[in-house]
Every structure is written in structure tokens, then in C-alpha cells.
Structure 1
Amino acid sequence: MSSDPWGRVDETGTVYVRTADGEKVVGSWQAGSPEEALAYFERKYEGLVVEIGLLEKRVKTTDLSAKDAMAAIDHLREQVDAHHAVGDLDALRARLDKLVEIVEARREERKAQRARQSDEARHAKEVLVAEAEQLAQSDQWRAAGERLRSLVDTWKGLPRLDRKSDDELWHRFSHARSAFSKRRKAHFAQLDAQREEARKTKERLVAEAEALSGSTDWGPTAARYRELMAEWKAAGRAQREHEDDLWNRFRSAQDVFFAARSSVFAERDAEQAENLKLKEELAEEAEKLLPITDLKAARAAFRSINERWEAIGHVPRDARGRVEGRMHTVDRAIQEAEEAEWRRTNPEARARAEGLTGQLQAAVDKLRTQIEQARSAGNTAKAEKLEKELEGRQALLDQALKGLQEFGG
């Protein structure tokens, strides 16, 4: 016969579990030793402990419905009441009873929450109506129009009230939107007249810009083009069908002038070419930092390179994206290394690793004690069996300790 604090196996191979109501039959075991029988049903108990722990976590950390939670509790209670496991079954029943209390409390809380949400929905719609009525008087046509559309989307996302209240509030809301639309329509009719005036002004500006496009008086002509641009912006927009064509002619005239001007400034181009060479050298120096092996040193080195980079002037426009992309690649690699370092030193992950290591160490210590007790009792077979189990637990502990070292511990 073999036993532990929560169960025993008699001479016939019948397994019992101890409960507050006395011993209960767990099952019959004929496949091996009594110790193996107890170990088998103890594992079943451990499985129930894990399942209850997972359900406790789901109830406390997710939005699991009360109906689903109670079904899961009933299912687990049936398994506990079946007495097919060896362990503290009364403790598991107590945990399930506590879960029932939590689920019932949450059910009441959600009922109260629905009532609050109804009040909140009424208040939210009243706020929307008040804002819509205020926006109906706004002259910020685009912003107010977009905001009113946003309010409609918000309204659609709110729960319905009783029909009378909902209809009354919607009527006020809809009336405010209609009033705004009527005022906006009148405004844009006036705007059309202004756009016709803008078209005439811009045609004059285009004619002058085209006349100046062949000038070689670089300074005064560039200054005049800036003035023409200011007048262009001040003129407002012409009709859509004219605006793009006028702008293309205006911009083309400027481009002709500034392209000729740029060809004269070869010295500036040469300077930008030299700047490009210097930045390519710095990009190459930065790329040598990869792969990142010493984050602190790499971060300091890249900061130094970047400071020298910022001190260099412009590079040719067609090369800017390519050379800056090389620096960005190194910068991104350093950022990823920093994120990896943060994850490695994450206190929550470290705490989980330390907890697992502690559990495994306790299991190893317990097994060693059991081996000594078995040898003292002359039970060599049991000692050898426990030593095999110890080898497995020790391997897991060694692996966990190695993982813990990665956190710097």
C-alpha cells in the first residue's frame, strides 16, 4: 500500500483521495506500482489546477461573458466532483466558489454599466446636437462641414434611445445641418464671382512671367519672380478648369529662368558634389558599425557621425534620398538594437524567468530530499526512479538558469 497527504493506494490497487467528507474512490490501478498510480492521478490534479488557474485569469483579465464563465465553472466543478484526481480537491472547490462570486458581481456591474451607458448616450447626443447648432452659424466652411460629417458618424455609433427622445434630438440635429448647407451654398455662389476675378489677375501675372523668362539680370529678375509669386497667392484661386493651366504656364516661365540661372552657378554645383562625397564617406563609416555588437559604443559613434553629417551643406537633389537612406538604415538598426535591449531587460519578463527558475529549483530540491529518504529506507528502486525524474528537472532548471542569465541576472 502507498500513500501521500491527499491519497493512498490499497493492496487491491484501488486509489483513494482524502476530502473533507472522507475518503473517495478515485479509480483502480493495475498497470504498475502504487507510486505510479498516485503520480498518475496527481498529474490529473495538476491538470485541474492549471485549468482553474487559466479560467481565473480569463475571468479577471478578459471580457468573458457571465454565461460562458458559469458554463466553464460548472464543467470544471463536474470534473472536481468526479474525484478522478489526487490532491486538495476541497481547495479547488473553494476556488470555483470564489469564481462564482466574482462572475455574479461582474454580472451586476455590467447591468449597472448598461444603465449608465444609456444615460451617457442621451447626454452624448444632446452634446452633439448643441455642437451642430453652433456649427450651423460657422463661416469655416470646410472645417465645419467636415466636423458635421464627423458628428453624423459619431451619432451613428451611439446606442438608440426611446423613439420619442431619439426622434426629437435627430430633428434638431438634421435641421442644424440643413441650415449650414444652405448658408454654404450661398457663400460658394459668391466665391465663383471672386474666382473669375482671380482668373483675370493670374492671366496678367502669367504674361509678365513669360516675358521675364529670357532675362539674364539674375538678381532683380529673381526678386521680381518672388513678388509675382506673392501676388499669385494673394489673388486667390481661379475656376478649377483654368487654375491648373495658368499655374503650369506661370511655373514653366519661372523654370526657364531659374534653369538658365542654375547653369551659371556651376561653382555651387561643384560644392554640392563635394558635399555628396563627404556624406558618402560618412555613410560608409556609419555602415561599418553594423552589425551592432556594442550598442552603447555604436550609439555614441553614430551620434558623432551624425553631428559631422549635419555640419555638411546640401548635396545634389537627385542623390539626396540615396545617401540619406544609407544613414537611415544604420539609424534604424541602432533603434532596433535599443528595442531588443529593452526587451532583454524588461522587468516583467525577468520576473517570469525568475519565478520559473524558483519553481524548478524547489522541485529539484524536493526530489533530492525524496531520494535521500528512499535510500535511507532502503528503497533502491524508488530512489533510482526519482533520480531519473531528477535528471529531467535538473535539465529544465539548467536551461531556465541560462535564460535568466540573458537578463543580466
Structure 2
Amino acid sequence: MSSDPWGRVDETGTVYVRTAEGEVVVGSWQAGSPEEALAYFERKYEGLVVEIGLLERRVRTTDLSAKDAQAAIDHLRAQVDEHHAVGDLDALRGRLDKLVATVESRREERKVQKAKQTDEAKHAKEALVAEAEELAQSEQWRSAGERLRALVDTWKGLPRLDRKSDDELWHRFSHARSAFSKRRQAHFASLDAQREDARKVKEKLVVEAEALSGSTDWGTTAARYRDLMAEWKAAGRAQREAEDELWNRFRGAQDVFFAARSEVFAERDAEQTENLKLKEELAVEAEKILPVTDLKAARAAFRAVNERWEAIGHVPRDARPKVEGRMHAVERAIQEAEETEWRRTNPEARARAAGLTGQLQDAVDKLHRQIDAARAAGNDSKADKLARELEGRQALLDQALKGLEEFGG
């Protein structure tokens, strides 16, 4: 008979293993010595030890599911309970019991973790729904559309909830996206209609602009082009391709007109610059008439200069006031000389001036006599008062005499 601390082989070749409940038959061995029988069943025990150790490591270090872990434990427990190995089977059962407790603990942890993840997923999806419903009212079509697409990708990355909760949230989420899409489609449909209206308006503006491009009515046509540009801006934008094509035609028509106008204006400016030079020369000639000493000769000279002046034509607008002012100054001087001559040769005016002068002279002479009488009577106060009156009358007389001199004395 052969034995070791955990088993023995009796005379009949029966192999036993010792357990806490007593000896249990492991099997029968007839092929060799008892030592070989024990060694065989001890190797089977070591195999169980290795398998249990591997399972313990998997449970501890991997994400092996509780279900798969329990199945593996049950499989190993069945092998231990079959008593086909020699060794400390009770210790193996103890290790398996601990492993069951570990798996259960892991199961609870995962259950709590899953509940937490589910709760987080629910809050995350509710937040996505709330944002989607807010975006559904936005008119930032591009950015809001891009954000809604990003929310869909985020939603797909979140774990599913229970079917009822998940379906309800998805329905709200999907409804918000649909509402935004409908509003966006309606907006762009309206925009397309507006752009089509703008295209029709701008086509009419282009036709008129092209018809005006050959006009030589520079002022009126330029003003109309400004009006057309204002109407163009007010019409809004057409579709991009139509907008570009119409604008090129519209701008091209204006360019033709304004280029022709610029060419004509350049020629006109050159002509007016030459006219200014000629009129400045005439202004110098006219200014030599002054001062007027011979009114008849001055009138004739000015008339001759003015006739040549009128024949010259326009000068640049900004230079016109100055050069015309010089001619007007000469003309005014001649007119003033004419007025002075008329006053001098007017008999009625001369008679009135002479009459006024005589009256003033009589008044002055009378005041002189009154002053002398007052002095002689010793009435200095009256004399002083009359003297002050005399000063005023004398000033009027001096002025009247001066006027009379203009009539030739």
C-alpha cells in the first residue's frame, strides 16, 4: 500500500483522497505501481490548481462577464467534486467559494456602474434633446445644421436606455431636427423666390443700362445711371451665377458710357483751359480802360473787348467766378462813371442842389447875425446854443456845396 498526506492506494489498487468528510474513492489503478497511481492523480490535482489560478487571474484582471466567470467556476467545481484528483480538494473548494464571492461583488459593482452609466447617458441624451429643441428655432442655418449633425454623432456614441425612455427621447430629438429642416427648407425656398424676383428686376436694369451706354446726354444719363445703381442695390441678390453675369453686363454698359463721357470731357477741359487763358488776357485788356477819363471812349473800348469775350465760350467752372469778376469790376466802374456824368448834366438835379445850397447859406448867414446880436446883448448862453446849431447847418452846407461842385460849380 502506498500513501501521501492527501491520498493512498490500497492493496486492490483503489485510490483514495482525504477530505474533511473523510476518505473518498478517486479511482482504480491497475496499470502500474501505487506510487505511479498517486503521481497520476496528483498531476490531475495540479492541473486543477493551475486552471483555478488562471480563472482567478482572469476575474481579477480582465472584463470577463459574471455569467462566463460563473460558468467557468461551476465547471471547475464539478471537476473538484468528482474527486478524480489527489490533493487538498477542500482548499480548492475554498478558493472557488472565494471566487464566487469575488464574481458576485464584481457583478454588483458592474450593476452599480451600469446604473450610473445609464443615468449619465439619460442626462446626456436629455441635454442633447434640449439643445436640439433650442437649435430648432435658430436662423443660423449653417452653424445650427452642423451642430445638429454633431449631436446625432454624439447620440450614437451613448449607450441605450430602457426602450421606453430611449424611444421618447429619440422622438423629441428627431422632431426637433425635422422642425429645423422644415424651417430651413422654407427659408431657402423663400430666398430662392426672392433671388428669382431680383434676377428679373436686374435683367430689366441691365437692358436699360445697355440701351443708355451710347447716349451723349452726359448729365441726364449719368444721373439715370446713379438711379439705376440705387435700384440695383435695392433689388437684393440674384442667384450667384445670374448675379455675376448680370453685374458684368450692367457694369460693362456703364463703363462704355463713362469712358466716352470722360473722353469728351477731357477734350472739353482742354478747350475750356485755352478759353480761360484767352479770357484772362481780355480781362487784362479791359482793366487798362480804368480809370475812366473819357467816358465815350471807355464805353467803346469795353464793348469791343466784351464782344470778343462773348465769342470765346466756357471756361472751367472753378475758375469762372474770378475771371468774370474782373470783367464785372470794369463794367461797374464804367457804369458808375456814367451815373456820375448823368448827375452832373441833369438840369433838374442841378437846380435842386443849387436851391438847397442857397437855403442852407441863408440859414447860416442868419445864425451868424443872431450869434453876434446875442454876444452884443451879453447873452452868452444863447450865443453858445446858436453856435452849436450853426455847426450842424454849416456841415450840411459844406456837403451841399460839394454836391453842387459835381454839377460843374
Superposition TM-score tier, normalisation by shorter sequence? 0.3 to 0.5
What TM-score comes out, normalization by structure 2 length?
0.42
What TM-score comes out, normalization by structure 1 length?
0.42
Larger radius of gyration: 2
